[in-house]
Homo-oligomer: A and B are copies of this chain.
Amino acid sequence: MLKTSIQTEKAAVILKLLGDKTRLTMMKLMDSHACCVCEFVEIFQFSQPSISQHLRKLKDLGLVKEERKGQWIFYSVNKNNEYYSFIKPILDQLPSQDYKINELEEKGTRIICC
């Protein structure tokens, strides 16, 4: 059953997290692709700790999940999270970021593991 309501306070916390261009773009990307930290570093041109800290915040709220594959840790949107139905309509309205993945592939820096 679709969740139709969410605590206002929780909603505000989630929206604040999504209210950062970097995190919002990451979420849009991770909604359709599992990505690792080094890919985000390449895409956003921020330091690796900066990317890790963004992911940490998203993970702390349960919005993303991580899966280690060898030396890499792949992050993706946690679609089993109870708030996924809240954020999905938001992500769906955002322009696709797939071209960023394509750019990685063209540069040969896309990580495809296992």
Chain A interface residues toward B at CB < 8 A: 3-9, 11-21, 24-25, 28, 85-86, 89-90, 93-95, 97
Which B residues are CB-close (under 8 A) to A97?
Answer: 8
Q: Is the CB of B94 within 8 A of A8?
A: yes
Which B residues are CB-close (under 8 A) to A9?
Answer: 21
A99 CB, nearest partner CB in chain B, Å: 12
Q: Is the CB of A8 within 8 A of B28?
A: yes
Q: Is the CB of A5 within 8 A of B94?
A: yes
Q: Is the CB of A95 within 8 A of B19?
A: no
Which B residues are CB-close (under 8 A) to A12?
Answer: 18-21, 24
Taking A5-B94, A14-B19, A90-B90 as given, write out 16 further A-B residue pairs in contact, using a Cβ cutoff of 8 Å, ordered by the A residue number: A5-B95, A6-B93, A8-B21, A8-B24, A8-B28, A8-B94, A11-B90, A12-B19, A12-B21, A13-B19, A15-B15, A15-B24, A15-B90, A18-B19, A86-B90, A89-B90
